[in-house]
Amino acid sequence: MKISLQPLLRPLQRRLGLGSIPQITQVARRRQQLAPEVRAVRPRAVFLDGQLERIEAWAFLDHHPGPDLLGGQEITHGATIGYELDDALLLDGVLYCGGAEVHLQPRSQRVPQLVATEERAVGALYSSTVGNTYFGNWILDDLPKYFLAEAHGPPVTSQPQKGGHYAAYEGALGLAPLRAQATHFRTLHYFDDVGQNPDKRRRFDQVSARLAGSTPTSPHPGVFIVRGLVGERRLLRNEEDLAERLAGRRGFRILDPMQSNLSEIVAACRGAQVVMGVEGSALAHGALFLAPGTCIFTLQPPRRFCTVFKDVADRQGVKFAFVVGTPVGQDFSVDADEVERTLDLLTVL
């Protein structure tokens, strides 16, 4: 058992302005580059004329996404860096070490936890704040990081046991994480794995290969992944009509992940030449199975354009297409003809 006052002292320090609080990477005993950064030219997205002008607001960017979508600029995909932390505590979703702290998820209790009841010699943290917040980032970021972590120690997550698709993915991938809620680590490995470098692609492909298994699959035109009202509201008013139109005219499969088990999700997504749906976490199911020459096609709300899947597509070497909708109250709709015309562009590129 180890007792720490840091959970109480850090908020007091911030409130009183008593010096600066270090970043977790600044207190590491050791820093090691695990995969180098790479330079690349950003490819152009696939879209019709007039789409960029419809974008009214965006998420997770500090600039209009237009330049990222037009492509042509040289960018750097950051290195993957590993850090060794001494005497680290993971208490109720918050990581503490040497005066630094990282809130991996909101605390379950208002009063900070001060006592670590479990002692570990070593661990390797793979869960992240964004992965604990968004299911899609858990798939896109935290699952590949698990395979990075297991090379350095027992993989550690702050996330409690969950059911549903979380448990299904963990079971299918053979994951056995340590779920640390009140744990003191004599050494904890911590990773900066944000860069979309080739090693992250390799580990993402490792996740895909484990899920796919050895069963062969045949290509099919595409899968339309239904979002509905799941998660943060981004309701596509004509989603059902569009899905049925693409199924009838283009041979798309329609997948509602909330009504499907993991085996059904994998079967629907494997072999898809196009993975389409409203931008959001549900598309991560399909992104796992994008093969060279395929495309991820996002239907974007005009007031919340997001390029997360553009970054994934660029890293995986596949196409990224989109149509921007028009507002309908707090929701939006897309022009079905524009969707099909954009699909036609994929066949001529």
Tokens 């041979």 map to which residue? 251
Question: Could you report the per-residue pLDDT of 57-67, keeping only the tens digit for each?
Answer: 999 899 999 99
CA distance 111 to 74: 47
Amino acid 14: pLDDT: 66
Give the pLDDT confidence score for residue 2 in this predicted structure: 80
Taking only the tens place, the pLDDT of each residue in 34-50 is 999 999 999 999 999 99
- Tell me if 331 sits within 8 A of 56, measured CB to CB: no
Q: What token pair was written down for 87?
A: 């005497």
Q: What is the pLDDT of residues 213-258, one digit of tens each?
A: 877 889 999 999 998 767 678 889 999 999 999 999 999 999 999 9
Mean pLDDT (whole number) for 112-138: 93
How many Cα atoms sit within 13 Å of 161 on the Cβ side? 3
Per-residue pLDDT at 216: 82
Phi and psi angles of residue 95, each rounded to the nearest 5 degrees, phi first? -95, 130
Query: What whole-number distance in Å separates Cα of residue 155 and Cα of residue 145?
Result: 9
Region 265-275: mean pLDDT is 97
Q: According to DSSP H, which parts of 109-197 are helical?
A: 129-133, 135-137, 143-149, 164-173
The pLDDT score that the predictor gives to residue 207 is 97
> What burial letters (b/e) apply to 89-113, b meaning 16+ CB within 10 Å?
bbbbbbbbbbbbbbebbeeeeeebb
pLDDT (mean) for 275-299: 96
Confidence of residue 157 (pLDDT cuts 50, 70, 90): very high
Percentage above 70 pLDDT, the chain = 93
pLDDT of 8 strictly over 70:
no
Quickly state the pLDDT bin for 349 (edges 50, 70, 90): low
List of domains in the chain: 2-32+81-194 (no CATH), 52-76+221-348 (3.40.50)
Averaged pLDDT, 274-284:
96
C-alpha span between 241 and 308 (Å, rounded): 26
Beta-strand (E) ranges in 36-79? 38-41, 74-77
Task: Find the helix or strand (DSSP H, E) in which 112 lies.
Answer: none
Give the pLDDT of residue 348. 63
